[in-house]
Amino acid sequence: MNLVGDEDRIPVILDVDTGIDDAMAIWYALESPRLDVRGITSCFGNGGIEVTTQNTLLAVELSGRSVPVYQGAAHPLASGVVDTAEAFHGANGLGEAVLPPVRGHAEPEPAAEYLASALAGGDTTLVATARLTNLALALALHPELARRIPRVVVMGGAAFCPGNVTPVAEANIWGDPEAADLVFQSGIPVTMVGLDVTHQACLTDRHLRTGGPDPERAYADVLATATEFYMRAYNPGTPAGDRTCPLHDPLAVAVAEDPTIVTTKPYSVRVALQDPVTRGMTVVDARGHAPAPAHPVEVALTVDAPRFVHEFCRRLGYNLVP
């Protein structure tokens, strides 16, 4: 990847529910030569909002960078029920890694208000790797925002593959389907980086055997422990060959940085809301005779996984396998 001057960097805001792969995504973004991370907003999801906010602050501190963090939604739009993902991220959200104390604090401004003012400038891409609640709340406060946001890259959904929470629903959409449908229907240009591609973009035991991540990185211990937890969660029992785990959230950051890492196609995407069996499903209209979508969503269909995973390992300090 080419180095660019600071003025040419792509301004982005990350909206996260940190979470193991969110922490990886934060480090991937903060090590990017092409992205300018202006702020990070937290949302409930992989843990409660206090946990995900503290983990976000910690990820930033361990990166050695200074980026403001804004605390966001504590529950989905339509209910007070928060369904966390302890099995995949641990009770502390970071795979039970021993966490150093967090020194900083979230900014006083709530995430939705920060998003509304920061995105109104019209030049900043939002990379959302959590429930879409914060953005939905910002749109509720300022509906005109939909016309100002150049792009939202969403890690979420499952277009032509099974879900990971229910047979048809992916976690970030399942966790707040009303928010997701509102965003998909808002007219904001959305790129959907769903399980269709994130399940192709995996870290494997081959990468972990290299001895990385680089112990010089302040986040190395947390990353190593969290990755092993995540690997075990994705590969229960005694797997026969190398284990693999999907790099969901880092891939969304990679797409914001370099859209050519995936191929996409525009579709109408609705989120199923009513029926308990299909709730949270991303319903993609792939009929040959489908009417032109009013609000097309660019759905990622294929990914150059070797290129992405190689860059992920290089950037986070893993020794590369030749």
Active-site residue set: 248
**Angstrom distance (rounded) from CA 60 to CA 68:** 9
Residues 271 and 184: beta-carbon distance below 8 Å: yes
How far, in Å, CA of 193 to CA of 173, rounded? 12
Question: x/- string (CB under 6 A) for ligand RIB, residues 74-113?
Answer: -----------x----------------------------
How far is residue 166's CA from residue 53's CA, in Å, rounded to a whole number? Answer: 26
CB of 208 to ligand RIB, least distance (A): 19
Residues 236-275 binding Ca ion (CB under 5 A) are 249
Q: Which is nearer to ligand RIB, 125 or 129 (CB)?
A: 129
What's the CA angle centered on 170, arms 284 and 12, to 5 degrees? 85
Q: Does 244 bind ligand RIB (CB under 6 A)?
A: no
Structure letter (DSSP) for residue 7: G
**H helices of the chain, where?**
20-30, 49-63, 86-89, 111-119, 133-141, 171-174, 177-184, 195-198, 205-208, 220-234, 248-257, 305-315
| Site membership for Ca ion, residue 55 (CB under 5 A) | no
Retrieve residue 158's tokens. Answer: 């499952």
Shortest separation between residue 257's beta carbon and ligand RIB, angstroms: 17
Two tokens, residue 157: 């959904």
Tell me the per-residue interface mask from 21 to 40 with ligand RIB, x by CB under 6 A, - otherwise: xx------------------
Q: Is position 170 an interface residue for ligand RIB (rule: CB under 6 A)?
A: yes
* Binding flag, residue 199, ligand RIB (CB under 6 A): no
Kindly tell me the burial class for residue 131, based on how many C-beta atoms sit within 10 Å of its own C-beta (0-12, 13-18, 19 or more): buried
Name the minimum Å distance from CB 303 to ligand RIB: 15
- In angstroms, what is the minimal distance from the CB of 25 to ligand RIB? 8
* Residue 304 touches which member of ligand RIB, Ca ion, none, C-beta under 5-8 Å by kind: none
* Size (the chain), residues: 322
One of 52, 164, 227, 244 touching ligand RIB (CB under 6 A)? 164
Q: Which is nearer to Ca ion, 130 or 183 (CB)?
A: 130
Q: Which amino acid is at 63?
A: S
- d(C-alpha 38, C-alpha 174), whole Å: 28
Minimum CB separation of residue 23 from Ca ion in Å reads 9
Residue 77 binds which of ligand RIB, Ca ion, none (CB < 5-8 A, kind-dependent):
none
Site for Ca ion in 149-208 (CB under 5 A): none
Binding-site ranges for ligand RIB (CB under 6 A): 17, 19, 21-22, 45-46, 85, 129, 155, 164, 170-172, 248-249
